[in-house]
Amino acid sequence: MSKHGDLDKPTNFPFASYDIFGYLIPGATSILGILNFEHWYNRIVPDKALTPVLSTLLGPAQTIKENETVYAIALAAALLCVVYVSGHIVSSVSSFFLDRIYVAKAQGYPYETLLFLPRTSGPGFRRPDSKGFYQGAFFWINLYLVLRFASFFHSSTWLKPTLYAIEIVIALAVAAKIVASIVRGLPRLATWFSRPGIRRWPVTVAKFFLATLFPLPFKVLSRSVEGHVRTGRPFEPGMRDRYLQFFADRFGLDPTQAGSDNFWLCKMFVAHESPVFNRNLSYWLDMYTYARNLATAFYIAFIYSFVFVYLQYAHSPRIKPSDVFVLFSMPLGYFLLAGILAVRFRYIYVGYYNRFLYRSFVFLCGTQEN
């Protein structure tokens, strides 16, 4: 089967539009973001910093002479390969952090929120303290990175105490998460802590901190954003009831215990029954993947700029306020663009792709029933 659901159409050409939008453009975005920052830093602080990406990628191009056409073509092909490989790296990072961590562990899969099918036990079950840990980690780590980056350029009296406080909060959460994982992995120890009395007090405090306090800023921000874009709105009760009935009838499984099979079985059913609907799903799959990879590309450019300034800005001479503004605002612009595209990724992923999938499943089952 091809990516768009054509069973009998062979795929001869190994590259398609997805390679351009899913790999080349995100890869080029991350590299151009890094080159742009190094270029301006080199102009503001000439000969005072190492610019490895700028020197490696553009240095050879500056040595090309007019009669070296073959060399220029070979260099362009090599740069294209670098961009393509970078796009795959961006996609891998994006898939791991946004799909496997942010969606799977922090927010929950759309079938859980749209259809009210969260797991209460067994594989795929997320404990409130574990889910809260990942939610809080996304908020506090990013807040720390932004404030830490600001501290490179501005020495405010409130910045250092705030950074220390965030470090303590993150360290406490990580320690509580590690201890909780160790305790759950040792049945006897878990049984000892689960007994009533003073033994349960540390467990209760740790769970309250991880499940409620640590992720509180993330929940407030997430609910306000998702309330605006309406990605947190579930299906109507009638739609959910029809889905539960059709899923159980078609596959002989309890949807409340099927976990991620709610997604995969519905996806395969729609792909088998309606190539038209499957092409629409493939379109929205491409759209949310592009947004996800672009968000990661801008975030990688921000992280690179952060590390670059951390390692080299302290050794730079004093520069003008206008130049400080350029070096300060450019990486924060990357961070802001990454956040906007991450919101768009979730908006398309939940609001279009998954909603259309489950509506298509119910529609097809309803027409076959009639």
**318-358: per-residue pLDDT in tens?**
778 788 888 889 999 999 999 999 999 999 999 999 999 99
Average pLDDT, rounded, for the chain: 85
Tally of structural domains, the chain: 1
Higher pLDDT, 87 or 204: 87
Is 129 part of a structural domain of the chain?
A: yes
Q: Is residue 11 part of a domain?
A: no
Flag whether 225 is in a domain: yes
pLDDT value of residue 257: 86
Q: How far apart are the first and last CA of the chain?
A: 29
Give the pTM: 0.88
Residue 46 vs residue 138, higher pLDDT: 138
Question: Could you report the per-residue pLDDT of 290-328, keeping only the tens digit for each?
Answer: 999 999 999 999 999 999 988 887 656 677 878 888 888
Q: Which two tokens stand for residue 62?
A: 């500056």
Residue 270 counted as domain residue: no
Task: Give the residue with greater pLDDT, 226 vs 63.
Answer: 226
Is residue 370 pLDDT above 90, yes or no?
no
Residue of 136 and 206 predicted with greater confidence: 136
> What per-residue confidence (pLDDT) applies to 248?
94
pLDDT, position 189? 62
Residue 41 lies in a domain: no
* Cα separation values, 253 from 117, 261, 266, Å: 13, 9, 12
Q: Is position 199 within any domain?
A: yes
Q: What is the pLDDT of residue 154?
A: 80
- Sign of the dihedral through C-alpha 282, 285, 289, 291: positive
Does residue 70 or residue 14 have the better pLDDT?
70
What pLDDT was estimated at residue 2?
A: 43
The residue range of the domain holding 214 is 120-233
Residue 100 has pLDDT above 80, yes or no: yes
Give the model's pLDDT for residue 7. 47
Q: Classify residue 132: in a domain, yes or no.
A: yes
Q: Mean pLDDT: which of 42-46, 103-107, 144-148, 322-326 is highest? A: 144-148
pLDDT of the residue at 4:
47
Give 264 or 5, the one with higher predicted confidence. 264
Per-residue pLDDT tens over the stretch 24-71: 999 999 999 999 999 888 888 877 778 888 888 877 776 777 677 777
205 inside domain: yes
